[in-house]
């Protein structure tokens, strides 16, 4: 495996993570990207872009890998996922969030690259969060934001592939 977020995140490390076993892995789910500060304009480097492209073209035994990306949580800071080279790539599915009441969460980033929204947390802790597995054989009730939405969308993609 690739331990991507434990140290320096370089173009090479990203490329390794985004191409690992791409003939066996159907869907890559990513809940990371440039800082959500309303000022960063960043995206994948040369190697990571090539890994994504190669996955789209030849991954999954020629059917193409699916890359699901969290659209970001910087809406309250004026951030836009249009400035995120991962989510605005034509090769990724950018996923945002919707609250349990069907409203746009405070952290949502407006962006034309957003392809879908799935449930996540809403109004500053006043609405439910996603429950998921955590470290040390435990669960957490505090998984929030588009980082929780993207894996749900990846699961929906997996169900669609399974149903064919």
Instruction: Encode pLDDT of 85-125 as tens digits.
Output: 999 999 999 999 999 888 899 999 989 999 999 999 876 66
pLDDT tens digit sequence for 61-80? 999 999 999 999 999 999 99
Spatial separation of the C-alpha atoms in residues 62 and 65, rounded to whole Å = 9
Cβ proximity of 109 and 103 under 8 Å: no
Count the residues in the chain.
164
30-51: b (≥16 Cβ within 10 Å) or e: bbebbebeeeeeebbeebbbeb
**pLDDT given at position 59:** 96
Spatial separation of the C-alpha atoms in residues 64 and 42, rounded to whole Å = 25
**pLDDT given at position 124:** 64
**pLDDT given at position 6:** 81
**pLDDT given at position 125:** 60
Class of domain 4-163: alpha beta
Written as six digits, the tokens of 120 are 């996540």
- How do the domains of the chain map onto residue ranges? 4-163
């Amino acid at each position: 495996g690739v331990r991507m977020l434990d140290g320096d995140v370089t173009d090479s490390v990203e490329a390794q993570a985004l191409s690992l076993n791409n003939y066996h892995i159907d869907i890559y789910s990513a809940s990371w990207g440039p800082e959500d500060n309303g000022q960063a304009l960043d995206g994948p480097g040369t190697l990571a872009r090539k890994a994504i492209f190669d996955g789209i073209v030849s991954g999954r035994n020629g059917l193409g890998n699916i890359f699901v990306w969290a659209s970001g949580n910087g809406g309250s800071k004026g951030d836009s996922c249009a400035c995120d080279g991962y989510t605005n790539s034509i090769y990724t599915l950018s996923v945002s969030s919707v609250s349990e009441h069907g409203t746009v969460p405070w952290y949502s980033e407006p962006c034309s690259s957003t392809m879908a929204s799935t449930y996540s947390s809403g109004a500053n802790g006043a609405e439910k969060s996603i429950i998921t597995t955590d470290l040390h054989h435990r669960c957490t009730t505090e998984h929030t934001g588009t980082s929780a939405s993207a894996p749900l969308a990846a699961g929906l993609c997996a169900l669609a592939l399974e149903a064919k």
